[in-house]
């Protein structure tokens, strides 16, 4: 691919979606400050008390746009069998027709942001590049945290690097088909028409109708796992839903461990574990996604391709994950949590005692006796990984770290032992492939 290919693609998307302006993002601090101020002005962000939680914001979504929408997530491979047995498939030609109809004029009255980003350190042999087009400033602010947004990616593309094209629109234009101006909302979305579509053969991602991070931050699940698994299959590596940690023994021997658990089964808590055993230390390299590949010595090297954390807030507290709580003291984006009267955030599980006079995730005064939760069960925190207090000093090693072990796990309250050790690697693959978990998220 080339720079001319990128520019032609941006022009084609602009011709289809019809934005008022095209803005190329560079990931700079100045850009971040400008975007955050715009989000506050639009009502999407509310600035938290800078004395308690500096440079941090709360965002409340539309109540109909609060989570990933698996029923509207599609793998549009040329052959249905290539989509996988548990995924939704639609013929790619049919899906392209539907998407072109939805995206036609979808950005009228809005700016179109072009976000060049890297999954993994820019100079890593395991890094892969992407460019996301979006009409959501919330996505711009969050992608700067979750990925490495930089104009250097454009230079890489100009030098011939491959990249994944990703297109996102909230699906709520500000100018209707008759040319009339439509009032904006603090959380624009189109929940009746959500699409999250991956085209494996062409490496494309299209997302429409949702502003929620799991559907709109296209470097995360869409690229890092769905398209990433296709790239990995074709190129001889693995893209996995795993955490990555370094364990140091009392003898100062270091081991790197990856662990595969479903969502809401403790990846983030294990990634930030504080050992209670004297002399043992656990350090964080990643809490959600691991890319790994064999090197020329036959060893598996692994990286965390992300640059931030997008974690579930409820249940994360001083008693369950003190590292996470300490790491979000500043520079964080909170979504669908509750707020306190003094301008801080709160959610179930953060503290044992419930504060008085909370505002719930919908922006309404909350009554402790209402039978409802103050924070949404899928409320999120988004923060830069370099703020994690347990971060390992080699987390961004370009060559990755050499894996010593892989854990497979889940959430099971009955019937199975807490931990099982495989007899060998072959037996471990069998155990990992057959393990089952209770339903979580």
SS3 label, residue 94: helix
Give residues with Cβ within 8 angstroms of 324, minimum separation 6. Answer: 268, 269, 272, 309, 311, 316, 381, 388
Task: Let me know if 290 is exposed, middle or buried by CB neighbors in 10 A (0-12, 13-18, 19+).
Answer: buried
H or E stretch covering 36: helix 29-42
Write down the residue that tokens 């639009």 correspond to. Answer: 42
Pairing of the two strands 338-339 and 345-346: antiparallel
User: SS3 helix, strand, coil % of the chain, rounded to 5?
Assistant: 25, 25, 50
Output the CA angle 191-196-201, nearest 5 degrees: 165
CA 317 vs CA 240, 277, 310, 407: distances in Å:
27, 21, 15, 24
Q: Is 265 a catalytic residue?
A: yes
H or E stretch covering 142: helix 137-146
Counting runs of H as helices and runs of E as strands, what totals does the chain give?
10, 23
Task: Let me know if 210 is exposed, middle or buried by CB neighbors in 10 A (0-12, 13-18, 19+).
Answer: buried
Task: Let me know if 109 is exposed, middle or buried by CB neighbors in 10 A (0-12, 13-18, 19+).
Answer: middle
The two tokens of residue 204 are 């494309």
Q: Which of 25, 76, 189, 265 is catalytic?
A: 265
Catalytic sites, residue numbers? 265
């Amino acid at each position: 691919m080339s720079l001319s290919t990128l520019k032609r693609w941006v022009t084609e998307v602009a011709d289809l979606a019809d934005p008022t302006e095209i803005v190329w993002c560079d990931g700079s601090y100045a850009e971040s400050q400008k975007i955050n101020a715009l989000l506050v002005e639009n009502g999407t962000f509310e600035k938290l008390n800078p004395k308690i939680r500096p440079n941090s914001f709360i965002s409340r979504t539309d109540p109909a746009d609060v989570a990933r929408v698996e029923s509207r997530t599609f793998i549009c491979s040329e052959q249905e069998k290539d989509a996988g047995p548990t995924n939704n498939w639609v013929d790619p030609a049919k899906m392209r027709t539907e998407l072109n109809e939805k995206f036609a004029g979808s950005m009228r009255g809005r700016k179109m942001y072009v976000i060049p980003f890297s999954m993994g350190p820019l100079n890593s042999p395991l890094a892969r590049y992407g460019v996301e087009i979006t009409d959501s400033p919330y996505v711009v602010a969050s992608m700067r945290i979750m990925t490495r947004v930089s104009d250097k990616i454009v230079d890489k593309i100009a030098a011939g690097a491959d990249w994944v094209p990703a297109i996102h629109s909230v699906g709520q234009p500000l100018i209707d088909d008759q040319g009339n101006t439509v009032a904006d909302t603090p959380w624009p979305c189109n929940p009746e028409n959500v699409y999250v579509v991956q085209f494996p053969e062409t490496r494309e991602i299209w997302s429409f109708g949702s502003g929620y991070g799991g559907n709109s931050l296209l470097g995360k699940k869409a690229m890092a796992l769905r398209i990433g698994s296709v790239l990995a299959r074709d190129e001889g590596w693995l893209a996995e839903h795993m955490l990555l940690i370094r364990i140091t023994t009392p003898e100062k021997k270091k081991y790197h461990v990856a662990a595969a658990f479903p969502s809401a089964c403790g990846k983030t808590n294990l990634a930030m574990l504080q050992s209670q055993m004297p002399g043992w230390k656990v350090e964080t390299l990643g809490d959600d996604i691991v890319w790994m590949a064999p090197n020329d010595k036959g060893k598996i090297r692994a990286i965390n391709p992300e640059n931030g954390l997008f974690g579930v807030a409820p249940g994360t507290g001083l008693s369950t994950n003190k590292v996470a709580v300490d790491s979000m003291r500043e520079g964080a984006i909170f979504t669908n949590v509750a707020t306190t009267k003094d301008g801080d955030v709160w959610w179930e599980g953060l503290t044992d005692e419930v504060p008085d006079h909370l505002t719930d995730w919908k922006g309404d005064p909350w009554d402790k006796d209402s039978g409802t939760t103050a924070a949404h069960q899928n409320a999120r925190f988004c923060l830069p990984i370099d703020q994690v207090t347990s971060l390992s000093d080699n987390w961004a090693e370009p060559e990755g770290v050499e894996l010593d072990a892989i854990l497979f796990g889940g959430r099971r309250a009955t019937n199975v032992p807490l931990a099982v050790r495989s007899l060998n690697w072959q037996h471990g693959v069998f155990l990992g492939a057959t393990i089952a978990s209770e339903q979580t998220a």
